[in-house]
Amino acid sequence: MLAAWALRNWKGLAAGGAVLVLLALAGLGFWRGMVAIERLQEQAATTARAERDAHWRAEISAANAQAERARADQAQAVAAIEVRAAGDTARLQTELNEMEKANAALAGGDRCGLERDRVRLLDGAKP
């Protein structure tokens, strides 16, 4: 009975089957198109990430180089200050030794208080 009905309506069944096959092919094409679009989006996102990473790596390396230059400049400034401080210390020590010798050479070194000659020694010891 079903076979008889199919033989009588074969043109409609063939047209319906053709429509179903075309819809299946269209769905398959749409699906493949969406996969291709998704792949292209992923590639574009990967490329954009790589470009931003490269940009920020360059920015970070430039900032690191600038910080390293600043550290080197500070180290040079510290070295110059230390040399100057060592020179000042040596000069002041020499002046102190000379003043102690001059004080010891004054008469009455065992007395207490400041006499006129000792005050004159102190007036000459300005840094």
Task: Map out the domains of the chain as residue ranges.
Answer: 11-123
Find the distance separating the first CA and the last CA of the chain, reported in whole Å.
128
| Residue of 12 and 113 predicted with greater confidence | 12
Query: Could you give the maximum distance between any two Cα atoms of the chain, in Å?
Result: 150
127: confidence class by pLDDT, cuts 50, 70, 90: very low
Residue with tokens 């007395």: 111
The mean-pLDDT minimum among 5-9, 76-80, 82-86 falls in 5-9
DSSP letter assigned to residue 9: T
| Residue of 103 and 37 predicted with greater confidence | 37
Q: Give the Cα separation of 120 and 122 in Å (integer).
A: 5
Could you tell me if 121 and 99 are in contact, meaning their C-beta atoms sit under 8 angstroms apart? yes
Instruction: Output the pLDDT for position 113.
Output: 63
pLDDT at 79 over 90: yes
- What is the average per-residue pLDDT within 37-44? 97
114: confidence class by pLDDT, cuts 50, 70, 90: low
- Helix (H/G/I), strand (E/B), else coil: 82: helix
- What is the average per-residue pLDDT within 79-102? 91
- What is the average per-residue pLDDT within 104-108? 71
| Residue of 96 and 74 predicted with greater confidence | 74
